[in-house]
Amino acid sequence: MTMIVRSCDEYSKIEYLFERQLDEIESYMLKIEDLMQDEAKRAEEAYRCRNKDEDNAFYSDILYNESFSAKKLYPQIIRKSTVQVLFSHLDNYMRKLAEQRYSNYGGIPSYESTREKGILKARKFLVRSAELNLSSVENQWQNLVKLKNIRDFIVHKESQSDKQTGIIIKICANSLNLEYDEGERDVQICSKNYCAEMIRDIRFFFSTILIELRRQKISLVSAV
């Protein structure tokens, strides 16, 4: 667990739920990855040790398909699902932070009136309304924008434009953990490290926003 105990303030509940649920997502992901790895080894061994002298192509095909699914298909399903869950988690809690900020300082332009959507909207609102300095997490933010692009492509693959597909191809070309399958016109998440890195970036980015919000609150109180 990565829970950090802080004195209670208006952001404490959001922080607690954010960290607890992110820990649960990470724990579930690691358990499933371990199970898939064990299943891949079992299926591969079964296929390798099949009775090659036996004239049973049907059974051999079943073992091959099981091996392929365990090594290639199932990991993609789980990792792509994890990407969607991670992005939804970040999107939900950035919105909660923005709404909490607005409820504390109602005189500033409203969150709903801020243009953009999702995490872009929440970040823009928080940076402008609270004058947050997020330069220290710019790299993490850029990775989260790429995560958004990957998530959008996974969910809306069939309706992606050539321009959007080009963005995905470029992201994959610059990543050790992503590949773009030209034949399937699809993203392949080659390693569980991608999701693990996104979890680290999400956690660090979100905790930095909280630090800056609390620092800004102390400055306002000190100025009174």
| Res 224: pLDDT | 44
pLDDT for residue 5 is more than 60:
no
Alpha helices (runs of H) in the chain, residue ranges in sequence order = 12-48, 57-68, 74-104, 118-130, 138-155, 162-173, 193-223
pLDDT in tens, 20-36: 999 999 999 999 988 88
pTM comes to 0.85
C-beta separation of 76 from 187 below 8 A = no
| Res 66: pLDDT | 75
HEC profile of 147-181: HHHHHHHHHCHHHCCHHHHHHHHHHHHCCCCEEEE
